[in-house]
Amino acid sequence: MRESLFNKILSFLHGASIAFIALGAFATFTYFSPFGLAPALSLSFVFIFISLVIILWIDSINVKRMTLSEMKRQTEILERMEKTLHDKELSDN
């Protein structure tokens, strides 16, 4: 099955977000470690939480897009069924 450009972009953003979390958490911890262990850990966790929210947002976009395409496909099938039934009804009369 051929992947659309939108799927490729979303996959890239998902991978980039995970890499951003790893590098950003390390950088945040390293930057704030001179101020103590507690502030460095807490700010790193805040950074990780915000980044995970962004990843969930990207995933929800993908799920909504897949739901929309499935609904379009089902609507197409239902319209074909309705047309077939309507044509059969006309031919029976």
- Could you identify the residue written with the tokens 């309705």? 82
The pLDDT of residue 8: 83
What's the distance, CA 76 to chain centroid? 25
User: Percent of the chain scored above 90 by pLDDT?
Assistant: 45
CA atoms of 85 and 40, how far apart (whole Å): 67
> Per residue in 34-59, pLDDT tens?
999 999 999 999 999 988 998 888 88
Domain range summary for the chain, segments of one domain joined by +: 5-92
Q: pLDDT at position 13, please? A: 82
Contact of 40 with 29, CB cutoff 8 Å: yes
Q: What pTM, to 2 d.p., does this model score?
A: 0.65
